[in-house]
Every structure is written in C-alpha cells, then in structure tokens.
Amino acid sequence: MKKNFTLLAVFALLCMAFPLQMMADKGDVVACWFPKGDDASADKQQGQADFNNCVMVCNTFDFNIWAYNSSTSKRALNYNMGVQPEKGTVADDWCFLPAVELKGGTQYLCDYCVINNRYDQLDTHHEFWLCKAAATDAEMQKVHDQVVARSEMNSFSDEAATPEKSFTFEVGEDGTYYLAVRLVTEFGSDTEYSGNMFNNIRLSDNGEAVGIHSVEHSAKQAPVYNLHGQCANDRQRGIVISGDRKVLRP
C-alpha cells in the first residue's frame, strides 16, 4: 500500500511539473533589440552593440541611411533619408537584425515601437521579413506590413502616446533566423525628409505549437514585380520581387 501511494505521489508531482514547464515557455523573451528602459546607459551600450551586429542593404540614394540614435530621449534604430527626387524617390532599404535561434513548430510574437522621424512628414511604410540569412537573396518570408501615419505621435518622450505595433509569425523548423526591417516608402517631389525610428523590438515565444513545415516557394510560378510594384516581364534584369522573395536577375 505504501509503495502504491509513493508511486501515485511521484506521478502526481510529474503531472504538476510538466504543465508548469509548458507554461514557463509561454511569453519567454527570446531577444530584445534597441531597448529603452530605465537604465539609459545600459540601453545605449546594448543598442550600439545591436546596431554593430546588424547587416544593412541599401538600394536607394540618400544622405543618411541606417544609424543608431543614442540620444537619451530616443535610443533607437534610426532610418533617416534626405531625398533628391531626380536621383531616386523610392526607399527600398533593409536592416537585418542580429541572428536569433528559433524553435520549429512554434509561434512567436514580435512587438515594437516606431515613430516617424518628423511630425506630419508623410505616411511611411515598412515591412518585417523572416530570413534564413542576412541577405536579400536568401530564403525569406514577409511576416508583417505596417504604415505609420503622419498623424501619429512623433516622440519617444511620451511612451504612452507612442502606439506599440505587434505581429505573430510561425517557424517551421529549428534554426538560425534573422528578422529584417525593410523601408519601402515612396516620396513625392515636395518631400525633403523622411524615415522612422524603432526601439524595444522584442521577440517572445507566443506559447502556441503549430503543426507547420518549411515551404519552398517556386520563383517560376510566382508573379514577378519590380521595386515600384509594377509587373515585370521576363526580360527585366536587376532586383525583382517574386512571391515573398527578392530575386536578382543577372
């Protein structure tokens, strides 16, 4: 009788421990880039380290591209662009965030703060992509599309007034991944400045297992567009968009 009781007690403890472990995984922060918390000095140090480990790919003419803004009030990944309309009015620039290890069959939550560099400049547009390598010709999938309206609060000073953005995505297999921020804003001839600042980019386990597998996209079957969103023919060379991927046609 005593032996049976002991076995039941051990079994009960195991049953309790297993769901507790499962619950502990949910909400675990996997990475946080460009933090803005109470310790400004530590934030600046990590933010600069994060920036040093990013990979930038810039396809447009501009004066100021990706940088780290270390000012105490902002502390953010900064994309700032002074436009010369005759030399290019479409932003198509990428920032690949530092690599992170993700689990297959898992859903992740990414939340972040973003503001326009200047109040009432214009509506800006950015995307997030999940990539297998820090390169625009890598296997990648667009996981988020966001417009930042010109009317949104243009200051990290009032955190409560800065709308937080978020999205979820699913990972098919274990591996090293990169989240990439892509600026794809088109500017008018009267626009002098534009850009965005990002901070508190936080990636966490969303606590949901998903039964998915990696999917290979066929570039031959997918519609092909140029960087202006126009349909591209078979003869067009350079960088084109095929499905969810950027392809370089030699």
- pLDDT (tens digit per residue) in 24-33: 355 789 999 9
| End-to-end Cα distance, the chain | 78
Q: Is the pLDDT of residue 245 over 60?
A: no
Closest CA to 240 of 230, 228, 225, 250: 225
Please give the pLDDT value at position 184.
84
Rounded CA-CA distance 250/242 in Å is: 15
Q: Is the pLDDT of residue 18 over 90?
A: no
Q: Show the tokens assigned to 15.
A: 């049953």
- Work out the mean pLDDT of the chain and round it to a whole number: 75
Provide mean pLDDT across the span 125-129.
Answer: 93
Closest CA to 129 of 225, 51, 228, 57: 57
Please give the pLDDT value at position 176.
96
Rounded CA-CA distance 177/52 in Å is: 17
Closest CA to 167 of 212, 126, 118, 116: 126
pTM of the model: 0.71
Please give the pLDDT value at position 229.
54
* Share in percent of the chain as helix, strand, coil (round to 5): 15, 40, 40
Q: Is the pLDDT of residue 248 over 70?
A: no
Please give the pLDDT value at position 13.
43
Provide mean pLDDT across the span 95-117.
Answer: 93
Please give the pLDDT value at position 217.
38
Please give the pLDDT value at position 102.
95
Q: What is the DSSP letter of 98?
A: P
| Strand, coil or helix: 45 | helix
At residue 148 the predicted structure's pLDDT band, cuts being 50, 70 and 90, is confident
Please give the pLDDT value at position 191.
59
At residue 223 the predicted structure's pLDDT band, cuts being 50, 70 and 90, is low
For residues 238 and 228, which has the higher predicted lDDT (pLDDT)? 238
Q: Is the pLDDT of residue 232 over 80?
A: no
> What is the per-residue pLDDT across 42-79, written as a single tens digit (0 to 9) for each?
999 999 999 999 999 887 765 668 999 998 888 999 98
Provide mean pLDDT across the span 17-39.
Answer: 68
Please give the pLDDT value at position 15.
42
Closest CA to 92 of 55, 61, 134: 61
Contact predicate 34/50, CB 8 Å: yes
Closest CA to 214 of 145, 143, 140, 144: 140
